[in-house]
Amino acid sequence: MKFGEWVKTLIFYEILMGMKATLTHLLHYKPITLQYPHEKKPLPPNYRGMLALLRYDDETEKCVGCDLCEAACPSRVIQVYSAEVPGEPTKRYAKEYYMDMTRCLFCGQCVDACPVDALGMTQEFEWAVYDKRNLQLNKQQLLAIGDRAFPVREKRIEFQHPNVAYFNVSFGDIPQKDA
């Protein structure tokens, strides 16, 4: 054994180095624990929290009852009951819309599938409940979540793209062909 190694063994060098690291941490202690729920960590903008149904800026529901979200969901969370808008046979809407959030994987496939961006994922995650029936949400509940999570709303599609978007616009709004 070399002399240096022999001295290190004699003075318990490794133990002293370990104690130094412990003492350094103790003297320069900075807590990293957050006092949840009083303190909360900022979430990334693309956080996938509770789902919500969205409206346009004139309070109209965005959902057109197309059922694509229901088809895209791998976990059978969504049930859409589609119907014609009364008096406007080319327009449809979700007469009833249900989500069983006990089954949701928060994968976001329903949001991606929606052709009119009627679904959004919020930053809400504190949805622990004692009764899981409280996680079966209806359309009004999902719209209320959207209202509070997305206060800035888009204009209706036909006003965003006046030259091209005739999707789900009532027949009377479509310009007539030239004679």
Q: Binding residues for ligand SF4, per CB under 6 A? A: 51, 63-69, 72-73, 75, 77-78, 80, 94, 104-110, 113-114, 116, 118-119
Q: How far apart, in whole angstroms, are the C-alpha atoms of residue 15 and residue 9?
A: 10
Is residue 53 within 8 Å of residue 118, measured between CB atoms?
Answer: yes
Q: How far apart, in whole angstroms, are the C-alpha atoms of residue 119 and residue 151?
A: 14
- Pair type for strands 78-85 and 88-100: antiparallel
Residue 134 CB, shortest distance to ligand SF4, in Å, is 17
* Three-class SS state of 79: strand
Q: Which is nearer to ligand SF4, 12 or 81 (CB)?
A: 81
Residue 101 CB, shortest distance to ligand SF4, in Å, is 8
Q: Which is nearer to ligand SF4, 72 or 85 (CB)?
A: 72
Q: Which is nearer to ligand SF4, 76 or 87 (CB)?
A: 76
Residue 73 CB, shortest distance to ligand SF4, in Å, is 3
Residue 172 CB, shortest distance to ligand SF4, in Å, is 22
Closest CA relative to residue 174, chosen from 107, 91, 110: 91
Residue 19 CB, shortest distance to ligand SF4, in Å, is 50
Q: Which is nearer to ligand SF4, 8 or 107 (CB)?
A: 107
Q: Which is nearer to ligand SF4, 8 or 150 (CB)?
A: 150
Residue with the two structure tokens 């793209």: 161
Measured N-to-C along each axis, helices 13-27 and 3-10 cross at an angle, to the nearest 10 degrees, of 60
Is residue 68 within 8 Å of residue 113, measured between CB atoms?
Answer: yes
Q: How far apart, in whole angstroms, are the C-alpha atoms of residue 155 and residue 59?
A: 10
